[in-house]
Structures are given as C-alpha cells and as structure tokens.
Chain A
Amino acid sequence: MTMAPIVVKGKVLAGNSGGEFGVRGWIVAVDAANGKVVWRAYNTGPDADVLIGPRFKPFYARDQGKDLGVSSWPADHWKIGGGSVWGWISYDPELDLIYHGTGNPGPWNADMRPGDNKWTAGIFARDPDNGEAVWAYQWSPHDLYDYDGINENVLLDLPIKGKTRKVLVRPERNGYVYVLDRQTGEVLSADKFVHVTTSTGFDLKNGSVIEDKSKAPSLGRTVKDLCPSAPGGKDWQPSSWSPRTGLLYIPHNNLCMDMEGVEANYIAGTPYVGASVRMYAGPGGNRGEFSAWDPVRQRKAWSIKEKFPAWSGALATAGDVVFYGTMDRDFKAVDARSGELLWKFRTGSGIIGQPISFRGPDGKQYIAIADGVGGWAGAIVAGGLDSRDETSALGFVGAMKDLPAATNQGGALYVFSLP
C-alpha cells in the first residue's frame, strides 16, 4: 500500500497498489475505532463486487450497462486487471460523496486485454457509508500508455458559463486538465496542459479523448513520439489551489516516449507489464514545468520551465506565495499572481515531497519540506540504477542520466519561517 489514507465519518479509507503486478484493485473502509472492515469495493469484475447498484448513474452511455467490469475484458482477465487505488481520495461533506481514481489496467501490453477494461484508469464517486457507486467515468478506456487515473481530485465551486457549478478539477495523466460536474460526472471541459500526441483532442459530446490509432503500441511494434510519456503530463505529484488568485498550481512533466509491446506472463508476485519503454524530454528540452492553471479561462496564466520533472507537491498560501521543490535541490517560493521567483533554498537532496504550512506554538507560520530524491523519476539515484540500459525503471532512466550529477540520496526535514 503506497497511498495516503483519508478518514471520513469515522472510517479510514485506503486502497491497494500494484498495477504492474497483476493485482485486482480495491478501496476499503475500515472502522477507525476497532479496525473492522466496513465495506470493500473492487474496481474490476461484476457489479456486486464493484458495489454498483440501483443508485449508480454514470453520465455517459459508454459507462452504462450491467457487469461492464466483466464484459469489457477477455475471459477472466479482470481478476488480474489492475485498477488499483494508490492515489488520492477527496470527500465532499455537503454531497456526502468520496471521489477516488483507479489505476492503470494490467498488463501495459494492451493487445492482451481487448475492451474498455472497466473500471481502470477512471474515477468513482461513492457513498462513504457503504461504498455504493454513485457515478463513474473513465479518463482512458482501454489505456495504452499506463495513464493511471489516480491523481488528486480538487473540489471547487466555480463560475462556468454564468452559473456556479460544483466541480472536480483533475490534472490528468493523459495531458488534459478536466473540469467535471462532481454531482453527475459530466465533463464540462478538458484542455491540454502539455504537448499531447497520444490523442488528437477531446470530444465533449461523447466525453472522451479522440484516439489516434497510429499511436497504439503493440506486440513487437515500437511506436515513437508518444506524448505525454507513461508518467503522464503529471503523475501523482499534487497540485494546490488558491481561492484568492483562482489558479491551480500544477507541478508537472514535459516528457515523451517510445514504446514497444513485449510478451507478458502472469506469475503471481512478479511484474506483469509487457512493455519496453524509452523516455526523453518533450518539446523545448525541459523535462518539467510548474504551471499556474486557470480552470475557468481554461488556460495557463504563467509557467516556469524546469530542467527535471517537477515531481514535488505545490503549496499555495494566503500570503500569495506558492512553494514547490525541484529534483535538483531547490526549494522555491514564487509570487502566486505573476510566477516571479521570490526566494529559493538549496537543500541537500532533490525534493519529491509535499510542502506544508502550519502555525507553531509561538503563533508564527512555518513552512516545512522533506528532501530526498526518489520516486519513479528519481529511481536512477534512489536505486543506484545503470543508465547504460536506457529502458530500465520502465524507461525513465534514459531520460534522467544527468540526475546523479545533480543530486545524491537524502532525507532531511527543513522548516522555515520569516524572521
């Protein structure tokens, strides 16, 4: 388990990981007082396991039907199909709904699993008391590129076309910032925030990306120039919203990849992937970017290019200062409105953690960040991997050969305050 649990109404919500190991994804609610499992919902398989019942009202026709979690897979493949819950869960107390994404389908080699592969690479709205599904949507049906759907769900009330809508904003792996109606799952807008070649655009009428079949890798066939690469326009690194500026501060990637399908064999406890991948920088040569996104105007207000993927979280404060860290050891403070660099601090190791702000016992505001490079992007340093094999770490090592010169391992907590 690699995700951060959330406690809702006396229940601890958590999910499993292992989308590269042929797991069957689930989310569980455990009674915080005694540890008993209150409910568990699977993300593949029959409706009874997925907790799909009479209350389930998916917005789009493609998601409507009985036991789609079985019929959108070959034979029994849904049993090892993935859809894990290794990312973020949000709760709306007014609607009394939790929102969670589901991870990639397995294996990466999509030839082995024709069909939409429900309900992987998607999002569920569920009742926190009993786990009942209220609506669901797939960001990437029949995912071809490891676009896990588990990123953060930012719950906001925004003015859309003259009306205030209860929305869910999601900077998604597939390179689009989505704005969904969080009551129904309708896609109100989806706009590219990085260079995208794995789809040609978004069809709002049917609520799906427009595929480019020529960009589909298959067994023995290498497809080049796939953008965004497998870690996506943004991986799990969480963005931060400022109600004062109306901007979502997104630390993200600018990466593309070549991908080839290879044989995948399911052996319990071992990786079940079936892809050979090589990643590299996207257009412009910068592998990362820190963007201030306006979800109402559907565009970037400003952005800062970064040499390495911006893999840390973002923090926006009421003083209109935004904090984030870089993989090459800089902890930065920028102006929330203009993006101007206000301050930076050289840490001992690259930063992939999330900055927080708290009030100390003396009443002062403190900002804290832990350094220590790692994660998928930092595997070459954290794992001591060998860059002569550009496909190692599922292709990331080839794109990060210069990281060991920019940082070594670390793990220190830094706490800052104004004098």
Chain B
Amino acid sequence: MGLALLTVGGCSITGPAASVPPPGNMVEGNRQSLLQPGPLRPVRLVRNPVAGDAQAIQDGKRLFNQFNCSGCHGAGGGAIGPALIDDQWIYGNSAANIFWSIIEGRPAGMPAFGGKISEDQTWKIAAFVRSIANLPEEVPTGEESRGESDVEKGKKVFLRGSCVMCHTVRGTVSLSRVGPDLTHFASRTRIAAGTLPNTRGNLAGWILNPQNLKPGTQMPATQLEGQELHALLTFLESLK
C-alpha cells in the first residue's frame, strides 16, 4: 500500500534521553517519511536538557562563534548558509529539530557536527538559534504537565510525538490520513486491524512494539515510559 511522503514540521519530541550515535549512522532524528528499507526503525527520541535555562542561550552564543557557525550564518542573517532569524525552517524549528540539523548536517553544505561537538554544546547552540529567531523558550516538560489531568497530559504526549504523522483525531491539529482515524478510538472493540481486543494492556503493547503483535504492520515502535505512556493511554481511552 502506498504511503504519502510526510514532512515533519516543528515536532517537539519527548521521551527518555536517547544517546547520540557516532557519525556515519543515519540518525533519523527528524523522521521525514515512513518509507524505509528493511523493517521499520523506531523514532529516536531526545529531550531538550537545557529547556528553560537562560544561561544556555549565553553559552550558545559563545559556541555559535567559536565553532564558526557565524562564518556561514553571519550573526543570523545568513551568508553562504541560510538566515536563521527569519521564519523559513526547512527542517523544523523546535530545539530538537535544530539539534538534529546540527548533529546530522543538511544538504547544500551544512556539516554534520555529530561526534565532533558534545550534545550539551549542541543543545546550547540550538537554544541560542531559537532566541535570535525570536522563538519562545521551550519549557521543561515536567513543569508544564503539573496540575493537569492525565487526559490533558496524554493529549500533549500524543500531539508532541510521532502519532500526528499518521493519525487523525478530529478537533486537534493531528489530521494525517496515513494510518487509521482515532477520533472515536475508545468506542472500538478491537485494535490492530481486528487482531486484538481494545484493552489498556494490549494498547500499551501495540504502541511500544507493534511488530511483535502484527509483523509487517506499518505502525512504527514508539519509545515511551512510565508517566507518559500512562497518560497517553488515558487520553486514548477518552476518545469515545
């Protein structure tokens, strides 16, 4: 079955911090498409460790000059590299998107700095770039979840993750037609194309490792742990 090519814009990815592989691996921090050779590989999730840290922006400014980012990007207006202060973002403008652009490199001349500068330094540069682009500071995920219901927290996990790439939940920005429509998910008696009863446990297993339950499925594995998985399940159960 044909899959549409999707581009990911602005997905802030949450989840347990994944280690950055050494250079030479196609990291897929920015999942561009579900079309892949071989079995589906899970999206690598990272968390912005300097979200909400104002000092990180100052450090990032120093690093931006020391690593010669200014040589190609000027003071943000661009040179032989593109402007960073405008609102054109080919590969997304979340801190994680920018993190992966620096680590992986991009076509037409952006070098891959993965393995050459530290992750911590990369996050700080990403924070600086967001600041000169006048984007709001990202908040640490724990804080913004405080005081919310599990349904609201779960909805955030859904919308910030890769679910939006394939599924529709009407009433939200998630409107993709690649995978099944989940708007009334909770009123379904079975999941995974009818192969399993729609229970909380089966749903967790399905999200974490769909190949285990239905080999050959197009649904990719999604790494989630504890609180976030629990909240996501509660949200999905609320979609009556």
Interface residue? A364 (CB, 8 A): no
Interface residue? A391 (CB, 8 A): yes
Binary contact track A376-404/B, C-beta < 8 Å → 1, others 0: 00010001111111111110010000000
Cβ-defined contact, A392 with B71, below 8 A = no
Majority SS of interface residues in chain B? loop
Q: Tell me which residues across on chain A come within 8 A of B76, comparing CB atoms.
A: 386, 389, 392
Q: Tell me which residues across on chain B come within 8 A of A391, comparing CB atoms.
A: 74-75, 77
Interface residue? A54 (CB, 8 A): no
Residue of A nearest to B68 (CB): A270
Interface residue? A64 (CB, 8 A): no
Cβ-defined contact, B77 with A271, below 8 A = no
Interface residue? A262 (CB, 8 A): yes
Q: Tell me which residues across on chain A come within 8 A of B75, comparing CB atoms.
A: 276, 389, 391-392
Cβ-defined contact, B74 with A389, below 8 A = yes
Binary contact track A251-293/B, C-beta < 8 Å → 1, others 0: 0000000000011010101111100100000000000000000
Interface residue? B36 (CB, 8 A): no
Within 8 A of A (CB), among B58-79: 65-68, 70-79
How long is the Cα–Cα vector from A273 to B71 in the complex, in angstroms? 7
Q: Tell me which residues across on chain A come within 8 A of B65, comparing CB atoms.
A: 262-263
Cβ-defined contact, B67 with A384, below 8 A = no
Cβ-defined contact, A267 with B68, below 8 A = yes
**B199, chain A: closest CB distance, angstroms:** 52
Interface residue? A132 (CB, 8 A): no
Interface residue? A20 (CB, 8 A): yes
Residue of B nearest to A267 (CB): B68
Q: Which of B67, B70, B71, B73 contacts A20 (CB 8 A)?
A: B71
Binary contact track B161-199/A, C-beta < 8 Å → 1, others 0: 000000000000000000000000000000000000000
Q: Tell me which residues across on chain B come within 8 A of A271, comparing CB atoms.
A: 68, 70-72, 79-80
Interface size class of A (residues with CB under 8 A): 20 to 34
Q: Tell me which residues across on chain A come within 8 A of B73, comparing CB atoms.
A: 392
Cβ-defined contact, B82 with A265, below 8 A = no
Cβ-defined contact, B74 with A392, below 8 A = yes
**B101, chain A: closest CB distance, angstroms:** 15
Given contacts A265-B66, A270-B111, A392-B83, contact A385 B71 (CB under 8 A): no
Interface residue? B25 (CB, 8 A): no
How long is the Cα–Cα vector from A263 to B61 in the complex, in angstroms? 13
Given contacts A265-B66, A383-B80, contact A389 B71 (CB under 8 A): no
Number of A-B residue pairs having CB atoms within 8 Å of each other in the complex: 81
Cβ-defined contact, A385 with B77, below 8 A = yes
Interface size class of B (residues with CB under 8 A): 20 to 34
Cβ-defined contact, B68 with A384, below 8 A = no
How long is the Cα–Cα vector from A386 to B78 in the complex, in angstroms? 7
Residue of A nearest to B69 (CB): A270
Q: Tell me which residues across on chain B come within 8 A of A390, comparing CB atoms.
A: 77
Q: Tell me which residues across on chain A come within 8 A of B53, comparing CB atoms.
A: none
**A207, chain B: closest CB distance, angstroms:** 34
How long is the Cα–Cα vector from A276 to B85 in the complex, in angstroms? 18
**B58, chain A: closest CB distance, angstroms:** 16
Interface residue? B227 (CB, 8 A): no
Binary contact track B46-57/A, C-beta < 8 Å → 1, others 0: 000000000000
Q: Tell me which residues across on chain B come within 8 A of A386, comparing CB atoms.
A: 76-78, 83, 85-86
**B68, chain A: closest CB distance, angstroms:** 4
Q: Which residues of B contact A (CB under 8 A)?
A: 65-68, 70-80, 82-83, 85-86, 88, 111
- With A383-B82, A384-B88, A386-B86 already in contact, 15 other A-B pairs whose C-beta atoms are closer than 8 Å: A265-B66, A267-B67, A269-B111, A270-B111, A276-B75, A383-B83, A384-B78, A385-B77, A385-B78, A386-B78, A388-B77, A392-B75, A392-B78, A393-B79, A397-B78
16 A-B residue pairs with Cβ-Cβ distance under 8 Å, sorted by A, are: A267-B67, A270-B71, A270-B111, A271-B70, A379-B79, A383-B78, A384-B83, A384-B88, A385-B79, A386-B83, A388-B77, A389-B78, A392-B73, A392-B74, A392-B75, A397-B77
